């Protein structure tokens, strides 16, 4: 029952996810593809209601909304205050990005030092909000109510036809 409403919610979710993935790629925040691949939706249909949830890696919220640093602030509910991000988490990202700076003498900077410098920079400057998910969600949500009403009308008409014909 309410197949058209269900189709409309699935189309809404599909649009939001595809646009979010495109935004991640366009903004070059897709180096490991982990966040990109984790974007998903979960539509639960019960007798009297629908529930649509969007899923992503936990850190996706911080990429989307941003995180204020100690020195640089953004309009976000998240901020670094006393704890710096763990430098060891920067290792794979450094390798994927091919970051290998040299010092004044031409020697490569040790990886642990580089990890610490990047973590400290994130702690001080934060993470700029990308809104990779928020923008497509808000854009699609503006039209959702009209689309749901149309779909519900179609479902109601089909229900009446089925009831009258039986």
State how far the alpha carbon of 67 is from the alpha carbons of 24, 38, 53, 54, 58, in Å: 17, 21, 23, 21, 14
Give the Cα separation of 120 and 128 in Å (integer). 15
Answer yes or no: is pLDDT of 148 > 90.
no
pTM as predicted: 0.82
pLDDT in tens, 61-107: 999 999 999 999 999 999 999 999 999 989 988 988 888 898 899 89
Answer yes or no: is pLDDT of 154 > 90.
no
pLDDT given at position 159: 66
pLDDT given at position 147: 72
Structure tokens at 116: 């610490």
Domains in the chain: boundaries: 1-66+129-166, 81-127
Answer yes or no: is pLDDT of 130 > 80.
yes
Spell out the residues 6+ positions from residue 67 whose beta carbon is closer than 8 angstroms to its own: 74, 76, 78, 79, 80, 126, 127
């Amino acid at each position: 029952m309410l197949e058209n409403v269900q189709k409309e919610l699935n189309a809404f979710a599909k649009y939001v996810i595809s646009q979010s993935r495109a935004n991640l790629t366009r903004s070059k925040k897709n180096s490991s593809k982990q966040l990109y691949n984790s974007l998903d939706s979960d539509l639960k249909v019960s007798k009297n209601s629908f529930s649509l949830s969007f899923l992503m890696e936990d850190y996706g919220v911080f990429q989307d909304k941003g995180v204020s640093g100690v020195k640089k602030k953004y309009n976000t509910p998240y901020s670094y205050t006393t704890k710096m991000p763990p430098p060891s988490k920067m290792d794979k990202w450094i390798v994927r990005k091919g970051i290998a700076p040299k010092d004044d003498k031409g020697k490569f900077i040790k990886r642990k030092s580089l990890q610490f410098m990047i973590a400290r920079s994130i702690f001080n400057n934060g993470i700029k909000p990308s809104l990779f998910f928020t923008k497509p969600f808000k854009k699609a949500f503006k039209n959702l109510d009209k689309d749901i009403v149309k779909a519900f009308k179609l479902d109601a008409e089909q229900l009446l036809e089925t009831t009258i014909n039986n």
